[in-house]
Chain A
Amino acid sequence: MVEDNMPDKKTVLICCGTGCLANNSYEIYRELKKRVEAAGEDISVKPVLKTTGCNGLCEKGPVITILPEDIFYCKVKISDVDEIFEKTLLKGEIIERLLYLDIKTGKKVKSHKESEFFKRQKKIALRNIGQIDPANIEDYIQRGGYRALKKALFEMSPDEIINEVEKSGLRGRGGAGFPTGYKWKQAKKINSFPKYVICNGDEGDPGAFMDRSVMEGDPHSIIEGMIIGAYAVGAQKGFVYIRDEYALAVKNVSRAIKDAYGRGFLGENILGSGFNLDIEIVRGGGAFVCGESTALMASIEGRVGEPRVKYIRSTEKGLWGQPTVLNNVETWANVPVIVDRGAKWFSSIGTEKSKGTKVFSLVGKVNNTGLIEVPMGVTLREIIFDIGGGIPGGKKFKAVQTGGPSGGCIPESLLDLPVDFDSLDKAGSMMGSGGMIVMDESNCMVEVARYYLKFLSEESCGKCTPCREGIRRMLEILEDICAGKGREEDIKLLLELAETVREASLCGLGKTAPNPVLTTIKYFKDEYLAHIKEKRCPAGVCKELTSYRINQELCKRCGVCAKKCPAGAIFSKPKSPYVIDNNKCIVCGACREACRFNAIEVMGRREG
C-alpha cells in the first residue's frame, strides 16, 4: 500500500496542489490533454493524464511525472507542453532542461526518487498524494484504499482495532502528541450514546499546509481512517472541520464523501457489516483558535469558538456533551495503513517514543520549499540541509521555528536534535502540527518573537486573562524593544509574564504562546541585549535601530546600490567609493540585497 505501484500504461501525473495550481499547472494539464486528444489514433500508446495533489516540491512547481519511465520535470511552463508531448511522450526522449537539479550534487536527476529531496523521505500519510487523482475514488482503491476498512469491519473487533492502534504507538499529529489508541480506548469505554468522531482540518499556522495537502490530495485516506475509528469507538456520526479558506480541500473532501457514500463505504449498513456512519463537513470561519479541540467543538455546535477547560476530557464529554474522538487530518490518514500493515510494521519506524513518520511543511529561507514526510527521529540538519537543500544565497543558517506560531526557535547548536515529540519539547519548542520555518542571518530574532506574538494576540480567543492580556503586554514590550525603547528590566519582566501566561492560561494556545519569546531569549539573548543596551539590531531588520554604512575598502564603485536605492540616498564623488546619506536613507535594505561585495554594513541606530 505504501510502495508505489507503477502502472504499466503510460501515465502523466500533473501536480495540481495549490502551489503548482498558482503557477498554471491546470492550464498545462488542459493543453497537454488537447494535444493528446488531437493526436487521436496517431499515437500507439495513449497516455493517461491525471491531476494529482501536492507533490511536495512546491518550490520547483509546476511539476510533472511521466510513468512508467518515472521522468520528473520541474518548473514546467505552458510553452513547454508541445516539446514534452513531441519529445518525451512520443519519442521517449528526456528534456534535460526540465529535469530537477540536485543542489547538493550539482547533477540533474531523471527520476524524483533519485533526488536528495525525495530519497530521504518516507511516505505514509502522504502515500498516495501526487500519485492519484484525488477526485477519483477508483485511483484510491487501486492503491489499496478501503482494504483496511474491510479488514477492520470483517476481520477485527473494535477492541482489536484499538489495540492495534495503541500498539502502533501512533500519537496525535495535531500538536500535542496524545496517544491515539489510548484516546480511542477512553471513548469506547464510556457507555453513553451518541458518540462522535471529528477530523480537525482547521490548520491555521502561518506557513503550514500539511493538512491542506492531505485533504486536497488524498481525501479518502482521511475518510477511511475516520470510518475505522468510528467503528472502533462506536460512533455513528462524524464531522470534518475544514477552514473555509481551504476551498479546494472543501471541494475534494466533499466529493470524496459523496463518492464514499456511492460505494457503500459510508451511510447505513456499510459494506453489509451492519455498521452505520454519516460524515459531514463543517466549514470553519478561519479563527486560529478553532484548531483547539474544545473551541472547534463549540464552533460545530454553533457557539463562539472559545475553548473550555479540559479537566474532563472530550472522550468523556465532547461535542454536545457526548463522548468524542477528535483527531487531526494526518492522524486519521495514518490509521488505514496501521490497520492494513499492522502495528509492528508501523512501530518499527521512528524513535522509541515517537513512532511512524511526520509531515512537515518546510518553508522560509530554505532552497526546497515544500511538503515533506520523514521518519521520526531524523535530525533537523538532515531536514534542512539534505532534504531542504540548505539556505539560499549562501547565507548563514540562524534558527528554525517548529510547531507553528507558538513553537520555539531552535538555534544552530541544536541542529542535530532528532525530530520527535519529546526532543522538541525539551528544546523549548514543540512538534506542533508540523510547520517548519527556516531563518537565516538576515532574520532578527526579537522581531521574529514580536511577529508571532502579534499573530497570537490577534488570534487568542480572548476568553482568559493571562492569554489575552499577557500576550498583549508581552507584545507591547517586544514592540518597544524593536523600536529602540527597550528597558534593561524588560527581559526579566518578559520571563515573568511568560510564566503566568504559560501556567495559568486556559487552553493550549495560551499555554504555548510564550514559546517564541522564551526560546529567543534562551538562545539569542545577545540580540535582545544589542537592541536594549546598544540600540542596535544586529540583523539590520528593526528600522529604528538600523543604519547602513558602505565599507570603503570593500566598495568596488559599481554603483548598483545607488541605482537600487529608492530614496536617492546613495551618492559618490568621481573616483571615490559610494556613501550613504543617513538623513535620506529609509533603511529599506535594497542596497544591502543588491551589493555583491558585502560592502553594506549594518550599523546601530543612526545618530541625531
Chain B
Amino acid sequence: MKIKIDGLECEANYGEYILEVAKRNGIHIPTLCHTDALPGQGSCRLCIVEVIEGGKNKVVVSCLYPVTNEIEVLTNSDKIRRMRKNIIRLLAARAPESEHIRKLKEEYKVPEEKRFNVDKGEKCILCGLCVRACEAVGVYAISSVNRGITKKISPPFEEPPEDCIGCGACAQVCPTGAIALKEFEGKRVIWDKTFELVKCSVCGNYFTTREQYEFLKQKYGLEAEEFLCDKCRKKSTAQKLVF
C-alpha cells in the first residue's frame, strides 16, 4: 500500500511500522530506544510523528505505529519539532552527562537549562533497552526497579548481579553510554562485578568472559574444547568446509 511521508510517496507493507518505511526511503526520524535487534520499545518518544488519517491529525510513535491505511505522515511538522525539542530538553535535564544527548540538544537548539534542577552526573535515560537485551540473551540479570521519579535500572538489591555473565550486551545496546564496562589486565568489570576474560587460543586476543563462554556453550550445546574468538572460529569453520 502507498503512504505519504513528508510529501514523499512510499510503498509500505500492511502492518509495517512507519519508522521502517521511513528508513527505507531515506527519511531520518531520530530514535534512542530503538535498535533493529530490539525494536518496539516506544519509551523514549523521540520518534513521534503526526499521522493524518480520515482528516484527523494524531501524534504517534513511528517505531510502533503499524501502517494499516493509506495515511499521510509528517515527521517534522512544527508541532512535532516543538514537542521533540521538549523531550530532548527533558532528557538533557535528566542525563546531562551523555555525549549523545548533548549532541541532540545542539541539533535541536535546546538552550542551556536555566529552569530545571539538572540531575548531576547522570547518563541513563531509562529507555529500558539494556533490560531487554539482557532478557534476549536469556540471563535476566538486570531489571527496572521502582516506578515514577524513583525508577532506575539495577541488578537485584543493587549488588553485583549473580546471574550476570559479563557479556556486555546491555552496555553495547545503551544509546547514551550509561553502562560502564571497563577492561584491564585480562579482566572486565561491569555492574560492579569482575569477570576473567579468556584468550582466543589461535590469535591470542581476549574476546569474552569465561562465564559467557560457558553460558553459550551450554545454551547452544557447543562441543568446543578450545577457546576461539568469532573471527578465528569463522576462519576455522571455513577451512573445514574447504577441505
Contact = CB atoms under 8 A, between A and B. Distances in A.
Contacts of A305: 147
B156 to A, nearest CB: 14
A458 to B, nearest CB: 5
Nearest to B151: A462
Given A311-B60, A504-B48, A468 B87 contact: no
A147 interface: no
Interface in B76-97: 79, 82-83, 86-87, 90-91, 93-94
Nearest to B90: A469
B116 A476 contact: yes
B126 interface: yes
B147 A289 contact: yes
Contact of A500 (B61, B87, B128, B143): B87
Contact of B87 (A287, A477, A504): A504
A287 B147 CA distance: 9
B147 A460 contact: yes
A460 B43 CA distance: 13
A309 B42 contact: yes
Nearest to A462: B151
B144 interface: yes
B164 interface: no
A312 B66 contact: yes
Contacts of B148: 456-462, 468
Nearest to A463: B43
Nearest to B127: A465
Q: Which of B46, B59, B61, B149 has the most CB of A within 10 A?
A: B149
Interface residues of B, number: 35
Q: Report whether over half of chain B's contact residues are helix, strand or loop; otherwise say mixed.
A: mixed
A53 B37 CA distance: 53
Contacts of A465: 43-46, 87, 90-91, 125
Q: Which of A456, A471, A472, A500 has the most CB of B within 10 A?
A: A500
Q: Which of B44, B90, B126 has the most CB of A within 10 A?
A: B90
A216 B60 CA distance: 40
Interface in B85-128: 86-87, 90-91, 93-94, 115-117, 125-126, 128
Contact of B115 (A306, A477, A499, A500): A477
Nearest to A469: B90
A247 interface: no
Given A289-B147, A311-B65, A459-B148, A466 B45 contact: yes
Contact of B66 (A311, A458, A462, A470): A311
Given A468-B126, A469-B94, A472-B149, 9 more contacts: A311-B66, A462-B148, A464-B43, A465-B43, A465-B44, A466-B45, A473-B116, A477-B115, A506-B42
Interface of B: 42-46, 48, 59-61, 64-66, 79, 82-83, 86-87, 90-91, 93-94, 115-117, 125-126, 128, 143-144, 146-151
